[in-house]
Structure 1
């Protein structure tokens, strides 16, 4: 199993070090505009375009400029979202704006950044993108239709008509590696690249525990009955705003029967999974032209597969 850190950090059950994020969110400063204003000139600002791409330099690296450089630019501190403080106590903000090709030669989408940027940069980008998505889709109150005014450094919206408060939301979803004791259950959607398989996943429904979601989703998608499950790790999945809660589950050796969500679901042996890992993420290395290709290494789905394989004789 690779020791490369995930771009959107995993938080394993019982892993104390993993409980620290890229930034100290510094909630105490969100209600202190004077403190934020004083930090603005020396802050770092990640700029996003209207599509949610981050501006980057000629090598494709994150272009985070100082607040002083945009103090007279698109909005300044009042329109920027305060993200938090880095380990050097430098404030980080996110701002939607526009730069010329001379100022920022490239724009990078979040998936590309997750696959190639350092974990810190990718995590800051993910936080900024998720907040941008929430703000762009919550300009009006869902209760009365009134216009929503932002406060708390971009982390709260208040309806100007009825006063209802709105906050950034994260949708919980389970993702589960299902085993019958010797085999791993993997499925694929029709829209995925050829031969791509992954573990199963689904959103938590109202009034449902995580364990109940695991059992329901697996049964609905494949007809396989889960006996028990255990929590493994979590990963923020800001595409645009989910939290993936990873599980390993033990199930009956039922024959998979797919519904309309999956094109196919199959049991795979540990040898099958080892060979799939050797093929690479796109089947480009040691490719025999057959068999499954596993989910990308940036995802918790791949991490769950690797953990299962390690428990069943993998390297």
Structure 2
């Protein structure tokens, strides 16, 4: 099928990877060490959550490095085993303690971090860049690998101590588990469920914006699923809490791993029972109903005051799918 004939929900960023994760190898430390030392093994380094990209071609690609590459020299913990590619191992390594210099665009940080940082031992075409700014330009597999690496590293960064006794923990199983060095408690990576909702009333869509977003940027409403709550209930609760709009029928659409830091986005469609808006100013700066015709114009880049979601994010894919009649 031609790409133009595919729904945007079939090509969601971070969700297209086909990597063999080979979880049966994670507990085999000697086997993993042998795979890592093999000449065909490759590792992608990340610095402060930013993967290393090769920018020498027309599109960025993950800059996979061979064993012994100077960029892999400084790491606080062992690499994370991502899986196999035709029998060759793929790893990710956190080198955040490396003295990578700041790029010309300034220090890293923020939701829209466009800065890039190089490595003193690498060519200038190899740069650490924020995944959110690269996700719409890289291949499906690169996006999936980068999302896995970033999400796992964020989990390791925030779970260095045992939640049971408070002692330090250490990575095991190729990076997919941490064990307490004192009480032996085991800790596993977590993923937080988030609903993101396409709330419609006829040919109009409910959008919101937060005060920290750039001018003109609008997106779908979203929020974390609470304990004991279904996706459908979360959609209704979040929509009502943020905008005062009551929602009736809800159905699931698609999902997206979102490694900022470790969420799984569940996109759902909901039918609004009314259109009057009462925003919660602690959650949103503004909310409004936008027609399908307005959104089609916005998706073509014709309306600087209405930018419907960041390309690569599931919100953008869902809005596009609804405007094109796939939903």
Q: Per-residue displacement from partner, 1:252-295 (whole Å, max 9, x unpaired)?
A: 123111002111111111112122212x2xxxxx34x6x52211
Contact 1:177–1:199 (CA under 8 A) maintained in structure 2:
yes
User: Cα RMSD (Å) of the superposition?
Assistant: 2.4
Partner in structure 1 of residue 80 of structure 2: 81
Partner in structure 2 of residue 309 of structure 1: 323
CA distance in 2, matches of 1:73, 1:102: 10
Alpha-carbon deviation of 1:308?
1.7
Q: TM-score, normalised by structure 2?
A: 0.82
Q: Compared with structure 1, are the counterparts of its residues 102 and 146 closer, same or farther at alpha carbon in structure 2 (3 Å cutoff)?
A: closer
CA distance in 2, matches of 1:112, 1:275: 23
1:8 aligns with 2:14: yes
Q: Compared with structure 1, are the counterparts of its residues 206 and 79 closer, same or farther at alpha carbon in structure 2 (3 Å cutoff)?
A: same
Gap regions ≥5 residues in structure 2: 101-118
Contact 1:148–1:159 (CA under 8 A) maintained in structure 2:
yes
Correspondence list, 1:170-189, <5 A = 170-189=191-210
Count of equivalent residues: 292
Q: What secondary structure, in the 3-state scheme, does the structure 2 residue paired with 1:67 have? A: coil
1:32 aligns with 2:28: yes
Of the three residues 146, 152, 164, the one matched with 1:125 is: 146
Contact 1:54–1:62 (CA under 8 A) maintained in structure 2:
yes
Partner in structure 2 of residue 66 of structure 1: 66
Alpha-carbon deviation of 1:58?
5.0
Contact 1:58–1:104 (CA under 8 A) maintained in structure 2:
no
Q: Compared with structure 1, are the counterparts of its residues 162 and 193 closer, same or farther at alpha carbon in structure 2 (3 Å cutoff)?
A: same
Alpha-carbon deviation of 1:186?
0.9
CA distance in 2, matches of 1:293, 1:224: 22
Of the three residues 293, 299, 306, the one matched with 2:313 is: 299
CA distance in 2, matches of 1:55, 1:194: 29
Alpha-carbon deviation of 1:220?
0.4
Alpha-carbon deviation of 1:142?
1.7
Q: What secondary structure, in the 3-state scheme, does the structure 2 residue paired with 1:273 have? A: helix
